[in-house]
Structure 1
Amino acid sequence: MQSTQRDTVWILGGTGVVGQNLLRLLRAQELDRVMTVSRRPLLDGTAHLARNLADSRSDFPCTRGDIVVNLTEQTSAELVRTVLQRGACFIENSASSDYMMTIREMARSVRGPGFLVDGCGVAPGLTNLLAYQVLQIHPNTRALEIVVDLGLGKHAGKAALTWFIRSLARPYTAKVERAWQVLSPADTEIRVQWRQGDQLSLALGFPFAEQQILAEELGPACDTVQCFLSMRPGWVTQLFKRLLGLGAGHETGTMTLSCGDQSEATAAVLARTLLAARQFSGVGPICPLPELLSLEQAFEAIHKVHHDASFRHTSPTILA
């Protein structure tokens, strides 16, 4: 993809918490024209195009070389098709398996020069990069357990928080011991130690999109790919455990990345992905995030906005 002075970054749903953080980072880089697209504009003078993204008839004048960042699951699959057919890069932030699989299927069906980059943010995003790092260091790994610890309120944003709560009651599909299984948060849990000296924290099985994305991308390299969610304060996770009536779990070797405020970290990964997409010379329709971005590059981007971000790796324990 060739970058020109007239290339535009379109941020769909860019008026939310993550969108505003992303706007600040892009303005600091002074590399692109930026336009938000949603029903209502920001009040800070950001260039805006009023559209109902849930309407399959909605459109906006993106062209080849543009980058489209989607921060809302209201964006219709038909609009995604149009973006890809015109040759733009479509960067997807969704953590919803159902929505993400729909967008992936749409991308595969498109005959056009554009390409999709999904799993861009914290979860999925950093979690995908960590998973690839695990397999690079430990190629014989057969099971990946991806655990996300999220704060409530402003750290996640209102829309994300609503989705988290609703998803706790939904069944989801995950690859477990080489077989695709339909699970619910009532089926699985593990306990993890986030920092040395901390007590173990409860994490519940959760329908994050990366357990399907990674299982698809890694194929037979992994027998199991499962995601878990821990929420802060810890009593929130404990409350859901009591409501759902769960059992017990386990833990082995770990990679832990602490990245501060979720919305700011997500924006940092998105901004870095956007720059990498400019240089992508491969062929679509789907470009996995690890082909654009390394874990080191993502962590460096986050560290610029969160100087206390940290990374810890402990070797796996071989279980009998």
Structure 2
Amino acid sequence: MNADRILVVGGYGAVGVTVADTLDGWFPGRVVVAGRDEARARALGGVRADVTDPDGFRRTLQELGDVAAVVLCVEPPDSRVARACLERGVHLVDIGATGRLLEGTADLHDLAAGSGATAVLSVGVAPGLTNLLARRAHEAVGGADRIDLTVMLGAGERHGADAVRWTVEGLAEPLAGAPLRTTLPGHGTRTAHPFPFSDQHTLPRTLGVEQVTTRLCLDSKPLTSALFGLRPAARRPAVRRALTASFSRVHLGGDGFAVRADARRGDLHAACAVTGRAQSRFTALVASYVTRELLAGSPAPGVRHIEQLPALAGLPETLAAHGLAVWRLGEAPPA
């Protein structure tokens, strides 16, 4: 394949900027920033690409002509943009977190395999690092019956508009499961609440685990209580709009995050966790390392979730060079 360029869609956003900068360091001159705002994209030497316009997106790929990989740092409304990439044999890295959208892309496995392209889904912190830790804990107990994932995000971090909107929309979804008190290394004991992260729908299929639940809390305990106390009211669109506006303006708390995976099989219990600062930055770093693996490694064609690529199993340790701390049950918590 003579394709050469790496198209970073949403490359001027909170995640995309770091993806574009990191990949440019590894592949100088090959990164093209793209997004719906043509002026912002062109100011960075890029092009317009709108994920809500699949036909226009397909034309952008045709005009560029030599695209090796597309990194989606914004979430499209359906799988047509993924189809446009995979039918041309273009690798795809998708940081999306909505289960139904990832399932739509997963349905394109045969198309990708036939064109020689690889799509990697569940890329970021949650999903992403959650999936990798879940697999690690699952294997440590010899195959788990149940996995509990806990995600703590920093309420003080300036998340992108799409991320804030997605989080508020998640409050309105009816979910099974009860809150869980969990110790997060370096952050003490927290109460986390069930939340619609896509990993809990993906992992039962990729790992063969019967029960997977992902829960969310914020670094601010009062804000966590307030947020989930508003869950019944968040079913009303007006309340969701007000919450989205509030979280976009107000930043209470820090930028620390933590992810923990607990796997259980009978009396066996394994747990591992990672902690770091700036969740958006680490989402971008995960996406960058996945993209580098697609371009420099030998991934099998088709659609895969991150935990299905053996070459990425050690990614948490790789990210230690960027400030990520890795912990396992029985060890002292990271400083």
- TM-score (structure 1 length as normaliser): 0.81
1:211-254 residue CA offsets vs partner (Å, 9 max, x unmatched): 111111122xx221111111121212211343348xxxxx8652
1:7-57 residue CA offsets vs partner (Å, 9 max, x unmatched): 111111222110011122123224451112212143794221113220132
Contact 2:140/2:270 (<8 A) preserved:
no
Of 188, 193, 209, the residue aligned with 2:198 is 209
Alpha-carbon separation, structure 1, partners of 2:110 and 2:150: 29
In structure 2, do the counterparts of structure 1 residues 253 and 238 end up closer, same or farther at CA, with 3 Å as the change threshold? farther
Aligned to 1:286: 303
Alpha-carbon separation, structure 1, partners of 2:288 and 2:312: 14
Alpha-carbon separation, structure 2, partners of 1:192 and 1:107: 37
Does 2:115 align with 1:112? Answer: yes
Of 88, 99, 105, the residue aligned with 1:103 is 105
* Matched residue type, 2:180: I
Aligned to 2:213: 226
Alpha-carbon separation, structure 1, partners of 2:102 and 2:156: 24
Alpha-carbon separation, structure 2, partners of 1:282 and 1:303: 24
Instruction: Name the SS of the counterpart of 2:8 in structure 1.
Output: strand
1:117-143 residue CA offsets vs partner (Å, 9 max, x unmatched): 101111111111111111222214211
| Larger RCO (CA under 8 A, 6+ residues apart) | 2
Q: How does 1:137-286 map to 2 (within 5 A)?
A: 137-171=140-174, 183-184=175-176, 187-195=177-185, 199-219=188-208, 222-244=209-231, 253-286=270-303
In structure 2, do the counterparts of structure 1 residues 155 and 145 end up closer, same or farther at CA, with 3 Å as the change threshold? farther
* Matched residue type, 2:328: H
* Matched residue type, 1:304: A
Contact 1:211/1:226 (<8 A) preserved:
yes
* Matched residue type, 2:115: G
Stretches of structure 1 that go unaligned for 5 or more consecutive residues are 172-182, 246-250, 316-320
The answer to which structure has the higher helix fraction is 2
* Matched residue type, 1:265: F
Contact 1:56/1:79 (<8 A) preserved:
yes
* Matched residue type, 2:128: G
Give the number of aligned pairs.
289
Contact 2:106/2:304 (<8 A) preserved:
no
* Matched residue type, 1:128: N
Stretches of structure 2 that go unaligned for 5 or more consecutive residues are 233-261, 263-268, 331-335
CA RMSD after TM alignment = 2.6
Identity %: 21
Deviation at 1:313, TM superposition (A): 0.9
In structure 2, do the counterparts of structure 1 residues 226 and 17 end up closer, same or farther at CA, with 3 Å as the change threshold? same
Aligned to 1:49: 47
Of 77, 80, 85, the residue aligned with 2:79 is 77
Alpha-carbon separation, structure 2, partners of 1:35 and 1:123: 26
Contact 1:9/1:32 (<8 A) preserved:
no
